């Protein structure tokens, strides 16, 4: 086999999607998509490019009247009494790639948790349409899939697979409007994420 052919095979192996990867159910929000792009650059040790991309994301979202990374982190910090916005700003100022990754992973976790908490409230209200609950559950799942599954699916396949199965059961609980079962599974998923990804997440995140 030629060196060129071997290199091509290695490239395909590195870029192929994980086996049984979750299919995105909703249009990918701009913020989520760009956060994933920043993580890819950081994984390639392109810290300066990642920080530059964060700046372009902020400008793009502002032109669309949408909150950027810093605003989103500040809003979630207020809701969950966390310090992701401060960590994000400090990581950018110090050009600290590891801390920047932790801030982005933590922001993703809080965005997912926000959707799951919305569902907890929705399941108590019979007036909420099933289609609305489905959209919110899909968004929560997409946050997990686009960041955590895509990033850790190959490195920790067993843990990611187990969390995907928990999300499957949560899907079922949402469809059946089974509030107690959903809340139990929500806590199980949060505890699994905080445990399996403790080294990548910021300390002090809620469960």
Residues 6+ apart with CB under 8 A from 67: 31, 61, 75
Share of the chain above pLDDT 70, in %: 86
Does the pLDDT value for residue 204 go beyond 70?
yes
**Confidence at residue 100, expressed as pLDDT on a 0 to 100 scale:** 96
Does the pLDDT value for residue 47 go beyond 90?
yes
**Confidence at residue 67, expressed as pLDDT on a 0 to 100 scale:** 87
Query: Which pLDDT band holds residue 86 (cuts at 50, 70, 90)?
Result: very high
CB 22 within 8 A of CB 160: no
Does the pLDDT value for residue 46 go beyond 60?
yes
Of 110, 112, 119, which is closest to residue 174 (Cα–Cα)? 119
In the chain, how long is the greatest CA-to-CA distance? 64
**Confidence at residue 28, expressed as pLDDT on a 0 to 100 scale:** 65
**Confidence at residue 172, expressed as pLDDT on a 0 to 100 scale:** 95
| pLDDT, greater one: 88 or 68 | 88
**Confidence at residue 91, expressed as pLDDT on a 0 to 100 scale:** 96
Mean pLDDT for 43-57 is 93
Q: What string of DSSP letters covers 159-194? A: HHHHHHHHHHHHHHHHHHT-HHHHHHHHHHHHHHHH
Of 59, 39, 168, which is closest to residue 104 (Cα–Cα)? 39
Mean pLDDT for 191-205 is 95
Per-residue pLDDT tens for 145-194? 999 998 898 889 999 999 999 999 999 999 999 999 999 999 999 999 99
pTM: 0.84
Does the pLDDT value for residue 19 go beyond 80?
no
Per-residue pLDDT tens for 3-16? 333 333 333 333 33
């Amino acid at each position: 086999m030629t060196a060129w052919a071997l290199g091509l095979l290695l490239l395909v192996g590195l870029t192929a999607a994980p086996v049984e990867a979750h299919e995105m159910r909703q249009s990918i929000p701009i913020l989520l998509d760009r956060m994933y792009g920043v993580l890819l650059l950081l994984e390639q040790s392109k810290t300066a490019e990642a920080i530059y991309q964060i700046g372009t994301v902020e400008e793009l979202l502002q032109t669309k009247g949408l909150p950027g990374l810093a605003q989103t982190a500040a809003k979630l910090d207020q809701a969950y009494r966390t310090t992701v916005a401060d960590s994000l700003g400090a990581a950018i100022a110090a050009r600290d790639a590891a801390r920047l990754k932790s801030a982005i992973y933590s922001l993703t976790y809080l965005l997912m948790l926000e959707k799951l908490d919305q569902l907890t409230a929705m399941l108590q209200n019979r007036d909420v349409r099933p289609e609305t609950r489905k959209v919110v559950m899909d968004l929560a799942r997409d946050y997990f899939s686009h960041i955590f599954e895509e990033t850790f699916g190959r490195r920790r396949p067993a843990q990611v697979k187990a969390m995907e199965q928990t999300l499957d059961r949560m899907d079922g609980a949402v469809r059946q409007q089974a509030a107690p079962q959903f809340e139990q599974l929500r806590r199980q998923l949060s505890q699994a994420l905080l445990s399996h990804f403790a080294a990548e997440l910021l300390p002090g995140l809620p469960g």
